Each structure stands twice: as C-alpha cells, then as structure tokens.
Amino acid sequence: MSQPRVVVHASPDLLAAAVAARLVTALVDAQATTGTASLVLTGGRTGNAVLEHVRDLPARDAVDWSRVDLYWGDERFLPAGHPDRNETQARTALLDHIPLDPARVHAMEPSDGRFGDNPDAAAEAYAEILARNAVAYGSVPVFDVCLLGVGEEGHTASIFPDSPAVHEASRTVVAVRDCPKPPPTRVSLTLPAIRTAREVWLMTTGESKAGPVAQALVEGDEVAIPAAGARGAEGTRWLLDTTAAAQVPASFLPPKA
C-alpha cells in the first residue's frame, strides 16, 4: 500500500478546481492506457464541488465519458431521487451533463428499489455488481481513482469510527446502521475494497476536519479514524484546504522554499 502524500490548496474552491483538473487528467491517462477508466464517486460537499468544477471545465471533453465506469463509495439508503442521496447529488452536479453510457453507471440500490427497505440485500447486490465487473479472479473492478470525503469524526465512505464496517475484513460492501451522521442507514464499500483502488484521493476542507486529518496521518489508527485506512495500491493523496491542513505536522508537507 502507498504512503499518503498531502497537497494543500488556499481555499475550498481552489481545492475543488484543482482536484477537478487532476481528475480529468487521470481519466484521460487511464483511457490512453487501457481504453477505459473506472471512477469511484463520493458524496459530501467537497466531492460535489469537485464534480461541479469538472462540469464547467472545457477539458472535460478530453474524456470519453461513454467509456467511463462509475461506482459509488457509499450511499445514503433513501428512496430513489431523494435529494440527500449521493447519486442524486452527483447527477445534478455532473452526471446529467455528460454523455455517459447508462449501463456503466453503477449506482447503489435505493430504499424503495428491488430489495425494498433491506440495506443488507442492497449491499449484497452491489457486491455482485462489483464482482461481475472484476477482472480475473478479483472481487472488485480495477478502480483507477477512488474519491473519498472525510467526516468530522474521521469517517470515510460510510465507515464510521469503531463501527462493524471498520472491522470488516472479507466483504467488499456492507450495510451500515445507526450512523452518527444522518441518515442513519447507508451502504458502503469496505476498507479492503477501497484499498484495491490504484489511487485513493481523500478530499476535505474546513476547520472541523483539521483534527481527524492530522490524527489519521500521524497515528494511522483506522478504527479510531477510518479515513486513515483508506490507502491506494499505487497512490494515496490527501487533498486539503489550508484550514483542514492546519494541524498536519510539517513533516507531511513540502519544504518551504
């Protein structure tokens, strides 16, 4: 697993703009290498701001969106089209504005979908989708980039501190109940699934994230701060604004010229 690298931007808006540019380049590069690209989306304010910036970037047309596979790192288990679903927010921010192949958009089931109000069945169904799109004997596809947010208590995807999800060692997708942040029921990739991604990008902004960000980097205890356990196979980037980076020790930051 890769060692985390930290990049700090001057404001939340600059962070979102810079990550959008980085993302377009990563998708273009992946398609230049394999013909396709595979992206895991996150919910949350920073994730949605990045998607809005991708929408407004002229260079977004350098990506062949019809050959991008989209997955979600987590979903709030709510009815289809609910404004708080990560899928709904991603569609509004970007997906409704680009020429995707609907068959390659792999959303998690809503609470009024095929399995009704059963998040375990929704999680199992998503694990099957991942397995179906896996290569060789893997259980998940090759994710080129996995975008993740970080919560105020250190959660990432919907993996909360000291919850059953953070201890999950074998399943790739789990149902999550009694979340401290609403809504209480969610579906989430697990850390073992996230760690298969080539690149993991943890993106967050704001003073309230400064403590968990520093704790994740310094202590690396994923049970206390699940974001600490999100590492990419080839690269792990913490993409922060100055307030979220305020407590990061200098040893993680580039030397000042």
* Residues at the interface with ligand LXAUTJHC (CB under 6 A): 42-46, 74, 76, 86, 148-149, 151, 157-158, 181, 204
| Cβ at position 185, least distance to ligand LXAUTJHC in Å | 12
Nearest residue (CB) to ligand LXAUTJHC, 84 versus 96: 84
Nearest residue (CB) to ligand LXAUTJHC, 163 versus 204: 204
Asked if residues 146 and 197 have their Cβ atoms less than 8 Å apart, the reply is yes
Nearest residue (CB) to ligand LXAUTJHC, 110 versus 151: 151
Nearest residue (CB) to ligand LXAUTJHC, 74 versus 144: 74
| Cβ at position 238, least distance to ligand LXAUTJHC in Å | 13
Contacts 24+ apart (CB under 8 A), 88-94: 89/43, 89/48, 90/41, 90/43, 90/47, 90/48, 90/51, 93/48, 93/51, 93/52, 93/55, 94/51, 94/52, 94/54, 94/55
| Cβ at position 202, least distance to ligand LXAUTJHC in Å | 9
Which tokens sit at 223?
Answer: 């049970």
Rounded CA separation 24/10 (Å): 21
Rounded CA separation 115/112 (Å): 7
Residues 6 or more apart whose CB falls under 8 angstroms from that of 58 comprise none
- The alpha carbon of residue 39 and the mean position of all alpha carbons in its chain are separated, in whole angstroms, by 9
Nearest residue (CB) to ligand LXAUTJHC, 119 versus 151: 151
Nearest residue (CB) to ligand LXAUTJHC, 147 versus 217: 147
CA-closest candidate to residue 70, choices 137, 153, 149, 147 = 147
| Cβ at position 135, least distance to ligand LXAUTJHC in Å | 26
| Cβ at position 10, least distance to ligand LXAUTJHC in Å | 18
Tell me whether strands 145-149 and 199-204 are parallel, antiparallel or unpaired. parallel
| Cβ at position 32, least distance to ligand LXAUTJHC in Å | 29
Nearest residue (CB) to ligand LXAUTJHC, 213 versus 217: 213
| Cβ at position 65, least distance to ligand LXAUTJHC in Å | 22
Q: How many Cα neighbours within 13 Å face the side chain of 254? A: 7
Sheet containing 68-72: give its strands across. Answer: 4-9, 235-241, 199-204, 145-149, 37-41, 68-72
